[in-house]
A and B are shown apart, each in its own frame.
Chain A
Amino acid sequence: MNKVYHNSFFAMGTRFNTVIPDIDFEHGDKIFFNIQKEVNRIESILSYFNRTSEVYKLNHRNKNNSIPISSELFNILDICLNYNKLTEGAFDITLRPVIEQLEESEKILSGDEIKNKPFSYGMDKIKLNEDETITFADEYLTVDFGGFGKGYSLDKIKTILLNYNVKNAFISFGESSILALGSQPIGNCWKVGINNYQSPGSSITTIELNNESISSSANFSISDDGSFRRKINVIDPRTQVQAVSNKSVTVKSSSAIEAEILSTAFLLMNEQKILKILDGLKGISVVEVIYNDEPVINFYNGEN
């Protein structure tokens, strides 16, 4: 029987699983401990809810101009602002107040209803200053890295694994964000099936990964009985309108951050806009599934 190390822990509101083939338990444990430490460190910076996190303190600031932040958070905000521009505003880390208001309403709101609600959002209200401070244009603006932290963690974990000379590993963050380092020991890649929510337990398609990550986003969730349950926390920040059809998007990239950000943004984009963004990027594959009577699958690929 081949050796395989497995361990897991809770982080960022979900479960984190590490699978490393062909490694001694003690060595695996040492690596896992460092991974866990790194994820916890990142969560202690990015958590929206932890009262001691840097982001919590930023969101509960007492001034809006020239707020000093750590270099790491400064760089993270820089990355987010760049992807906000790339996706023409579809990826937006300031949307949580909108989402919370929508969740309280417990129904799908019209664009006008959303527009009439009093909250502040929009990444154009964030300004990074040259002295590594940040300025918010609105005192109520908050940032939330729920759609970023897992991908960011996976890229950091990749560095840890490579530093330990690990060639093959499979890291799953809540099954929605996955890092596949190297390949399955007897294969040339890791084969990951994308779940078919209309046929629980079966895969709608298979994606092959080798030193790559995938991230999946959907605008719905599943009830315990397997049926769809609408989710209202994905809205288009440009139009304030929620997507109507049930849709999931899986993005494959060599960068876990990119996969995570684009899977969220592509949920709100049509084929034309997705292809336009992919044109400027390398090595990105997208699987879009629209659930009607039968699932409709669209594959989009960027430049190879």
Chain B
Amino acid sequence: MKEYFIQSRRAFLKRISILAGSSVAALSMPWLNIFGDTNSIGKTSTDKVRIGIIGIGDRGKALLLNIKEFMDILNVEITAVCDDYEPHLQLGMELTEGKAKGFNDYRRMLEMKELDGVIIATPLHEHARMTVDSLTMGLHVFCEKAMARNIDDVKLMYDTHIKSNRILQIGLQRMFNPVYLEGIEKIYKGDLGQITQIRAYWHRNNNWRRPLPNNDASFEKRVNWRLYDEFSAGLLTELASHQIQVANWALNSEPVSVMGTGSINYWKDGREVYDNIACIFSYPDGTQFIYDSMISNKHYGLEEQILGNKGTIEFEVNKFYSETPPTPPAILQLINDIEKGIFDSIPIGGASWVPETAVQYKGEYISGNYRMDETKLQLEAFVKFIREGRAPEMLTRHGYYSSLWCLLAEQAIKTGTTLKLPDGYSI
């Protein structure tokens, strides 16, 4: 029998409802309740949720296709698509079979009266103005991570969300991944004991470059915006933001300081963002989150390791390792017998002689829902939140603090100083 299995959607929802009802859910994952709310699915045309998508690049296309998978079930419509690059706009129109109205200027799209929410999947530096404009127009927003290119814009997005009383959900999909949800529940229930350290890394081995249309150099910064300081904080905003969110989630806290270093030591091709970084985030209880990322070696891949005095979680491989092994049933029986004053035989003896390597504790799987599509689940939640008109504030806070701290880490690296949260940015 396989040690894990792919659960059906029904089984997943059942598990989610149990998780949502757990004693730690309100503290750690209040957004799960939305999946149990079957009443929020409206079937009439007036109850249809109408979405506009800004940015039909790789990520925007993926989000669009995900929505299409549950459009009919959840009564959703992709009403508009927008991209200022004509081939992408055409792609968006084709993928919606021409049903969506196309725009090359997002501001024109926001003027549509038929929209309930927008999905923003554009380059990082464009997130802030698009989000602020959308919220100001009364639309709910799902914006890809990280939130913005600088901390002032992050704060502006958050403040506008509060002021407009509209949903601002950031695309940190691990918050909807069953493995993370069940792992976080284990952490909050105390299965790991006290969290004493977090380590995470994200390693790739590629130059992060995308081909230019017709090799036209004038597209360089538009296509490879991730490589330029003006538009991106590189590894921090593109990768680390996910893992900072996981660390904050596991600790139910935000850092108090960050120090770090970085350089371009391999891809010396004119790029401006670091190709390797290392940071340490410190938390109020003294826990350190040790992070590194690089794009010149992929041997170790990516991982978030949560280390407690009773156990360890490795989220990316869906594993929980107890510091103490599972107690054999016979030992449990013996303890029970002694406690209750029973004198009986316990069935324990008889395992064969085993060489030292044969029995290695390989941990336990956190969740059986190993391949549930977290991106689809977060979009499904966004649609349901729109129908409800609100989303748990914790969801937005996670986006806010992960974005803020990856940008502070960038500044810590650039200035060679240890940085704290500046005044006025605590929410």
Residues of A within 8 A of B (CB): 1-4, 6-10, 12-17, 19, 21, 47-49, 96, 99, 144, 146-147, 149, 170, 172, 174-176, 178, 184-187, 191-195, 197, 201-203, 206-207, 214, 216-221, 224, 231, 233-234, 248, 250, 263-264
Contacts and interface: CB of A to CB of B under 8 A. Distances in A.
A191 B346 CA distance: 7
A185 B353 contact: no
Interface in B161-190: none
Contact of A13 (B328, B341, B352, B356): B356
A233 B356 CA distance: 12
Contacts of A233: 353, 355
Given A6-B327, A217-B352, A224 B338 contact: no
B73 interface: no
17 contacts: A1-B340, A6-B331, A6-B335, A7-B324, A8-B331, A12-B356, A49-B356, A144-B356, A146-B355, A146-B356, A175-B348, A191-B343, A192-B349, A195-B348, A248-B350, A250-B349, A250-B350
A184 B354 contact: no
B360 A19 contact: no
A90 to B, nearest CB: 13
B1 interface: yes
A216 B345 contact: no
Given A21-B338, A193-B345, A195-B349, A175 B330 contact: yes
Given A17-B327, A216-B351, A216-B352, A10 B361 contact: yes
Query: Taking chain B's interface residues, is the majority helix, strand, or loop, or is none over half, making it mixed?
Result: loop
A17 B335 CA distance: 11
B356 A216 contact: no
Given A10-B361, A13-B359, A13-B360, A264 B338 contact: no
Contact of B351 (A3, A9, A49, A175): A175
Contacts of A175: 328, 330, 348-351
B347 A146 contact: no
Closest 9 CB pairs of A and B: A218-B352, A15-B325, A195-B350, A191-B345, A176-B351, A193-B347, A187-B343, A217-B353, A13-B356
A206 B345 contact: yes
A147 to B, nearest CB: 5
A178 B353 contact: no
Contacts of A96: 355
A174 B359 contact: yes
B347 A202 contact: yes
A49 B358 CA distance: 12
A176 B323 CA distance: 21
A146 B334 contact: no
Nearest to B329: A201
A191 B344 CA distance: 6
A221 to B, nearest CB: 6
Contacts of A49: 356-357
A203 B347 contact: yes
Contacts of B352: 176, 216-221, 231, 248
B339 A4 contact: yes
Interface string B110-132: 00000000000000000000000
Given A14-B359, A49-B357, 17 more contacts: A6-B331, A13-B356, A13-B357, A13-B358, A13-B360, A47-B356, A48-B357, A146-B355, A146-B356, A178-B349, A186-B342, A186-B343, A191-B344, A216-B350, A216-B352, A218-B351, A218-B352
Q: Chain B interface: which size bin?
A: 35 or more
Interface string B381-402: 0000000000000000000000
A203 B345 contact: yes
B337 interface: yes
A301 B134 CA distance: 86
A178 B338 contact: no
Contacts of A197: 350
A268 to B, nearest CB: 12
B353 A264 contact: yes
Given A8-B325, A172-B331, A218 B353 contact: yes
Q: Which of B331, B341, B346, B352 has the most CB of A within 10 A?
A: B352
A178 B340 CA distance: 23
B331 A19 contact: yes
B350 A218 contact: yes
Given A19-B338, A48-B356, A193-B345, A10 B325 contact: yes
A214 B354 contact: no
Contact of B337 (A7, A15, A184, A219): A184
Contacts of A201: 347
A7 B325 CA distance: 9
Contacts of A218: 350-353
A4 B324 contact: no
Contacts of A178: 348-349
A172 B348 contact: yes
B346 A19 contact: no
Given A2-B338, A17-B331, A21-B338, A176 B350 contact: yes
Contacts of B344: 191
A19 B334 CA distance: 8
Contacts of B353: 146-147, 176, 217-218, 233-234, 263-264
Nearest to B321: A10
